[in-house]
Amino acid sequence: MSTAEPDPPLGYGSMRRKEDTRFIRGQGSFIDDIKLGGMLHGAVLRSPYAHARIQSIDVSAAQAHPRVRAVITGETLATRDLAWMPTLAGDTQAVLATDKVRFQGQEVAFVVADDRYAARDALELIDVEYEPLPTVMDARQALDPDAPVVRDDLGASNHIFDWESGDAARTDEIFAAADVTIAEDLLYPRVHPAPLETCGAIADFDPISGKLTVWSTSQAPHPHRLLYSMVAGVPEHKIRVISPDIGGGFGNKVPLYPGYLCAIVGSMITGRPVKWIEDRSENLMSTSFARDYHMHGEIAATRDGKILAVRVRVLADHGAFNGAAQPTKFPAGFFGVFTGSYDLQAAHCQVTGVYTNKAPGGVAYSCSFRITEAVYLVERMVDMLAFELDADAAELRMQNLLRPDQFPYTCATGWVYDSGDYTSTLQLALDKADYTGLRQEQAAGRERGELMGIGISFFTEAVGAGPRKHMDIMGLGMADGVELRVNPGGTAVLRIAVQTQGQGHETTFAQIVAEELGIPPDRIEVVHGDTDQTPFGLGTYGSRSTPVSGAATAVAARRIRDKARVVAAAMLEVATGDLEWEKGRWYVRGDPDQGRSIAEIALAAHSDLELPAGVEGQLDASCVYNPPNLTYPCGAYVCVVDVDPGTGKVEVRRFVAVDDCGVRINPMIVEGQIHGGLADGIGMALMEVIAYDTQGNCLGGSFMDYLLPTAVECPSWELGETVTPSPHHPIGAKGVGESATVGSPPAVVNAVIDALRPFGVRHADMPLTPAQVWRATQGRPLRTDLAQS
């Protein structure tokens, strides 16, 4: 069957992704597809221990391997002052361990060989003597006085930071006086972004020119270039970072990893390009994880269900090095938005970060800098309140949601929500789901002993970091540049600083220009992922591409439109004030036949046409966009599950997702982003977790152990939308990349807990595996982040 493809829209609207042409033909070019002449291959030797002192490393046998070109250890790096590197959170991290290893899978040595087989063989020839040390694997024990100290290089405790937000005294007052208060411990377990393409790099250092080229799996090529120059001592203008096609990032490809640096040093030592690609287990065991938030949540309300305040204490497990990637002034990310979507009188949170003998990281996996944790906390607490008050979870939310006339709304912790129509969004979701009918069906089923559950979550996201005065990463303000040029023939080239990992930037950004200038999207080339080819900007994560770079693109296009107006006025010999714009052309007011198309104007702008004084020829513009505020997408999700009472197995029967991300540029891409995030949510709620045993063994180090959801676990998504434009964004768009990942886990968990109502279950931690569900029905839920016994 073939269906005719409609013409792509001249602006916003659903159109197939331009990048799919190469991807569906298998013609994408990912790191591992790139082969350079004379290229060598690197492999990392990793620690089998979670905590051990390194007594000695003997590399002589590996060095003697006939196909090995170099063996690098921490000692080698130390001679170049490279054994430690800065993390995005202002900590330092061992590139290759020198003193001791601090987590299982930590990098100990790097072998460069003729091929990847020889590199791996040589790893087995390296003899490391370890003296195992006691471990600290449970964040809840990290601050015990007798806990082993992970970072004896820094001090005598595992404490990293304390951070608080909100008004503690006022919150305490309200709690003390409230009719109803509820407290619960909630774990958001450690999960992993698990992009299908693992991390990797090719480094090529040219000793003659002094130029270093790094192809790498990077969501943030420009900040990486700065980091490389800081660490490797090569000046920035001599470094080119190229991020080719990327097979998924989800935050995993924001930080710098030791393997990248080892490839660079390998190339410097051997004088040849060095490729390093990690394998699946290395990715799961050593690269940036997400969550690991141990939360104690509390909610206060009146007896008739008015929510008054939320209070939360968090123990944040950051692993062995604080490698969290988030704006510097926010050590707990944007967790402060735990106030949710409700009109609270007060709120307070206190977050303590700790070191443990686990892999480093902290913020990754489509989480909008910890809003995932925040939304989970508040949406679970609201459901627990409904449980205690015996109230309907939907009605309770309706009663407490912010009303449209309250926007812009400053929440109890100071975030300014830009816009929203929350009650309409929730109502639409309830209607789509036939909420009343579902509740009737549930009641009838309970009579027969069936466990059907209905879960709701309402989330408010805060994305598009961010205003320079508040937000920076390592001192780099979070503004993004773009450069847009209309060619003489009327086609255009847009250069952006953000980096697609599957989001469809080549299409969406072309559509923004198309909407503003009337140039068809397929006549606009979007260039990204190459620091030599693109303006400076911070990259793609935290759903920031459309809010920041999308805004920059629209502003640059409007600058071009203004310039085109001057050129058109010169062409038509009228005053600019006499011209009116319609998509794609300027024409004379009152005489629509008299006009010039953007293509005609482009040609004229490059010609000998005489332009007014001060107007330079050609048709290009740039913009550095400094967002005035974050954008606040929201959504209402309804999940329906069936639980097998005998086995505890959960089946997600339906999932209704109504998202409000403001103006939708390409609705099809938006829906694709939501589909992926909803699947993520099912994964985290039901099966994904990286647990550790007491010795520090990672129990989620392969896809046999770390389960990603498949199509079988996902229902046919039922999507809906409301559109509340962002008032401060040039095109009214809000980010959407992470909305569904943020909003869906609590919907699934709320549904499962709702199903278990006959057992009196109020809470159980994710993932709700069959074992966990059964144990919850027995009143003995599991600690899912520890080895089971």
Partner 1 sequence: MQVPSHVEYEKAKSVEHALELLTRFGPEARVLAGGHSLIPMMKLRLAQPETLIDINGISGLSRITVADGELRIGALVRHGQLLASAVAAGHFPVLRDAEQVIADPIVRNWGTIGGSLCQADPSEDLSAAFGALRAIAVIQGRDGSRRVPVREFHLGPYETVVAPAELLTELRVPIAGDGSGSAYEKVSRRVGDWSIAAAGAVLTLSSDGTVTEAGIGLAAVGAGHFVSTAAEDFLRGQPATDAVFGQAGQVAAEHCQPAADQRGPVDYKRHLTGELTTRALRRAAIRVRARAGGQTV
Interacting residues with partner 1 (CB under 8 A): 32, 116-117, 120-121, 124, 277, 279-281, 646-649, 686-687, 689, 691, 699-700, 704-705, 707, 709-710, 712-713, 769-771, 774-775, 782, 787-789
Q: What is the dihedral of CA 125, 131, 137, 143, to 10 degrees?
A: -140
Cα–Cα distance for residue pair 383/752, rounded to 1 Å: 12
Nearer to partner 1 among residue 32 and residue 184 (C-beta): 32
Closest approach, Cβ 103 to partner 1, in A, equals 19
Closest approach, Cβ 201 to partner 1, in A, equals 14
Q: Could you tell me if 751 and 386 are in contact, meaning their C-beta atoms sit under 8 angstroms apart?
A: no
As given in the structure block, the two tokens for residue 718 are 């039922």
Nearer to partner 1 among residue 279 and residue 530 (C-beta): 279
As given in the structure block, the two tokens for residue 778 are 């027995």
Cα–Cα distance for residue pair 587/594, rounded to 1 Å: 6
Nearer to partner 1 among residue 56 and residue 789 (C-beta): 789
CA 535, chain centre distance (Å): 22
Phi-psi category of residue 483: left, alpha or beta, with phi > 0 → left and psi -120 to 50 → alpha: beta
Cα–Cα distance for residue pair 573/524, rounded to 1 Å: 29
Nearer to partner 1 among residue 33 and residue 152 (C-beta): 33
Nearer to partner 1 among residue 116 and residue 675 (C-beta): 116
Sheet containing 718-721, strands listed edge to edge, beginning at the edge strand earlier in sequence: 451-460, 634-643, 650-660, 718-721
Closest approach, Cβ 446 to partner 1, in A, equals 20
Closest approach, Cβ 191 to partner 1, in A, equals 14
DSSP 135-177: ----GGGTTSTTSPPS-TTT-SSSEEEEEEEE-HHHHHHHHHH
Nearer to partner 1 among residue 285 and residue 731 (C-beta): 285
Query: In the 3-class helix/strand/coil scheme, how is 708-767 assigned residue by residue?
Result: CCCHHHCCCCEEEECCCCCCCCCCCECCCCCHHHHHHHHHHHHHHHHHCHHHCCCCCCCC
As given in the structure block, the two tokens for residue 334 are 């944007």
Nearer to partner 1 among residue 8 and residue 200 (C-beta): 200
Nearer to partner 1 among residue 36 and residue 707 (C-beta): 707
Nearer to partner 1 among residue 227 and residue 689 (C-beta): 689
Nearer to partner 1 among residue 419 and residue 769 (C-beta): 769
Strands (E), 629-736: 634-643, 650-660, 718-721
Cα–Cα distance for residue pair 262/42, rounded to 1 Å: 8
Closest approach, Cβ 757 to partner 1, in A, equals 21
Closest approach, Cβ 279 to partner 1, in A, equals 4
Closest approach, Cβ 517 to partner 1, in A, equals 44
Closest approach, Cβ 196 to partner 1, in A, equals 13
Cα–Cα distance for residue pair 511/11, rounded to 1 Å: 5
Q: How far apart are the first and last CA of the chain?
A: 54
Q: Compute the radius of gyration of the chain from its Cα atoms.
A: 27
The CA–CA distances, whole Å, from 554 to 81, 332, 519 equal 44, 32, 13
Closest approach, Cβ 785 to partner 1, in A, equals 11
Closest approach, Cβ 137 to partner 1, in A, equals 15
